[in-house]
Amino acid sequence: MSLVFPAGNTVSGVSPGDGRRGRSPRPAAPAGTAPGRSYAGGMAADDAPPSQQRTRGAALGLPADGPGSLAGFGQRSVAFLLDAFAAALIAGLVTAPELPRNWSLLSFGLVTVVFLVLTGQTPGMRLMGLRLAHPSPGRRLAPWRAVVRTALLMLLLPALVVDSDGRGLHDRLTDTAVIRER
C-alpha cells in the first residue's frame, strides 16, 4: 500500500518523498550531481520517489481491506487453532476414556472437508468472520479442492510458505484464498 502525502504534510516525522522516520532532513546533492550518484557527503542523491508497494490481494482483484479482502495471518491462525481444538474434542468423545492421539487428525480432515464443501467455511473460520474464496463464486467448492487443501494444511508446512499476498502454498495450489466475510 503506498502512502501519498500532499505537499507540506508530514506524518510521524516522515516528510514527503523521504522514507526515513524521525531523522534529520537528507542533505541536498550539490549542483551538477546526477540523481543516484555519490557526492562528497558520501550518500547517494536520490531524487526518485519511494517505491510503490503492492496492496495485498491486488493481483487477485480483491479489495485492500474490509469484506472480501485477504485475511491476515493472525486471523487465519486463530481459525485453524479453533478448528484443531474442535477436532480434538470430537475425537476425544469417540475415543474416551483414551486420549484421541492421531484420531484428531482424521476428525480435523473430515470436519474441514465437509464444512468447506457444504458451507465454504470451517467452524473456526465462521467464528473469525472468514470464508474461502475460489474460482467459481456462487457455487460450492469442488470436493477435490477441499481434500487437497486440507491434506496440505494438515502437513502444516505448506500453510507457512506464503506468497507476496500472504496466501499459503495450500491456497495457491488449489486456487483459493481465505477472505474476510465482515
CB 71 within 8 A of CB 179: yes
Quick one: pLDDT at residue 64?
87
Question: 61: which 3 cell numbers?
Answer: 482483484
The pLDDT assigned to 32 comes to 53
Residue 182's nearest CA partner among 130, 147, 120 is 130
- Rounded to two decimals, what is the model's pTM? 0.68
**Predicted local distance difference test score (pLDDT) of residue 164:** 84
31-70 in b/e burial notation, b at 16+ Cβ within 10 A?
A: eebeeeeeeeeeeebeeeeeeeeebbbeeeebeeeeeebb
CA gap 143, 117 in Å, rounded: 6
Question: Is the separation of the CB atoms in 97 and 103 below 8 Å?
Answer: no
Structure confidence at residue 144 (pLDDT):
96
- pLDDT tens, N- to C-terminus, the chain (182 residues): 333 223 333 333 333 444 444 444 445 545 554 554 443 444 444 454 455 567 788 888 888 889 999 999 999 999 999 999 999 999 999 999 998 889 999 999 999 999 999 999 999 999 999 999 988 888 899 999 999 999 999 999 999 998 888 899 999 999 999 999 98
pLDDT of residue 137: 83
Query: Looking at residue 47, what is its pLDDT?
Result: 52
